[in-house]
Chain A
Amino acid sequence: MKILGIDTSSVTASAAVYEEGKILAESFVNGKLTHSQTMMPILEDMLKNARLSLAEMDAFAVACGPGSFTGLRIGISAVKGLAFPAQKPCFGVSTLKALAYNLLGFEGVIVPAMDARCGQVYTASFLAREGRVERLTEDRALSLEQLGEELSAFWGEKEVFFVGDGGNLCYNKFRQEGRVCLPPPHLRFARAAAVCLAAEQEQPQSAAELAPRYLRLPQAERELLQKQKAKGEKTNDCTGK
């Protein structure tokens, strides 16, 4: 089964075609966030260079969140459009799970972290062992302090790998705590090939069912509201302007 995977969940964009243990094609761009302009040309060129056609694809996979609001919508819309005409199956993969699959074959705790702004990261923990990746926690937005508390069980016990665009942030915060590792760039950032690998564990959906999975930032929301309240700003009344 040939799976075409796409990731546009952060500043990087990538596409890949995967078939039973083989990556047939992959393309990765780390530029500024203009996925709406870059994604389709990347896809077209990659398929052309690999002598593949869209018609040959059996399924589509996409990193469906958490991540950049516009980025997720671009990737998911693209996959919906590609899969819809022939009603091909789609796999919506957690961006964090796909990041953990970058380190498939490693031994230790994998902590993908994406910068969610306002001192928070989108994160989850995974246990990598014996060539498998098992999920330990669900995807959430946490402050670095909250993540630190959660990871304290692993310090001194297991090696902890930070991946994702918030990996560097976490590594610098926790490097004194235990055996932590920041993998090199080719393993650290979201890759469409890893999206395809992670998709093999997912249930297929129709193009129509595929939807972004945004994560709320409860702490940032609370702080924003407190600040507005403290200022006595009543901003939800549009007629007052």
Chain B
Amino acid sequence: MERFISHSAAETEAFAARLAGKLSGGEVIAYFGGLGMGKTTFTRGLARGLGWEGEVSSPTFALVHEYRCSPPLYHFDMYRVTSFDDLYSTGFFDYMENGGVLAIEWSENIETALPEDCIRISFDRLGDEEREITVEGLAL
């Protein structure tokens, strides 16, 4: 388990970009932590670290955003996913097969469907800007 204290969005992004260097494709990254904790910011850092230069925003409405970097990054938001049929019809299980990295906001909603070896990242609020980020399942 790794702990990181971030003092700003920029630090969160930089930490995530460093973590991206440890990814080779096929990983599932599950985020835990509520609103405004920096999950999308973290994913922006991941995408930058994997070489994506375009926009990164929360896929609340589209459910999944695809960033065509190498390996590709699939950014899910499970906020509106409340049943197994919902999950199946996002193509979630198909995305797990095609060699990309999956980053999942609101993993709480699909916890029983997460693979056992997924990387778990929890966000805790320490102050207005400060966050404690805990990484389980990946050595940094």
Interface size of B by CB at 8 A reads 25
Report if B4 contacts A (CB, 8 A): no
Taken together as a complex, chains A and B put the C-alpha atoms of A40 and B1 apart, in Å, by 46
Across the interface, do B83 and A32 meet the contact criterion of CB distance under 8 Å? no
Contact B112 A220 (CB under 8 A): yes
Interface residue A241 (Cβ < 8 Å from any Cβ of B):
yes
A-B contact count (CB 8 A): 64
B30-87 residues with Cβ-Cβ distance < 8 A to A are 35, 60, 79-85, 87
Chain B, residue nearest A118 (CB): B113
When A69-B89, A235-B79, A241-B35 are in contact, do A224 and B94 touch as well, CB less than 8 Å?
A: no
Residues in B17-35 with C-beta less than 8 Å from chain A: 35
Are A236's CB and B93's CB within 8 A?
no
Interface residues in B81-140 by Cβ distance below 8 A to A read 81-85, 87-89, 91, 93-94, 97-99, 106, 108-113
List of A residues within 8 angstroms of B88 by Cβ: 69, 214, 217
- Residues on A with beta carbons closer than 8 Å to the beta carbon of B35: 241
Chain A, 200-241, CB within 8 A of any chain B CB? 214, 216-217, 220-221, 223-225, 227-228, 231, 233, 235-236, 238, 241
Say which residue of B79, B81, B84, B106 sits within 8 Å of A217 (CB atoms): B84
**Cβ B97 vs Cβ A223 within 8 A:** no
* Candidate in A34, A117, A223 with the most chain B CB atoms within 10 angstroms: A117
Please give 6 more A-B residue pairs, beta carbons under 8 A apart, in addition to A69-B91, A221-B85, A241-B35.
Answer: A32-B99, A69-B93, A70-B94, A216-B85, A217-B88, A238-B80
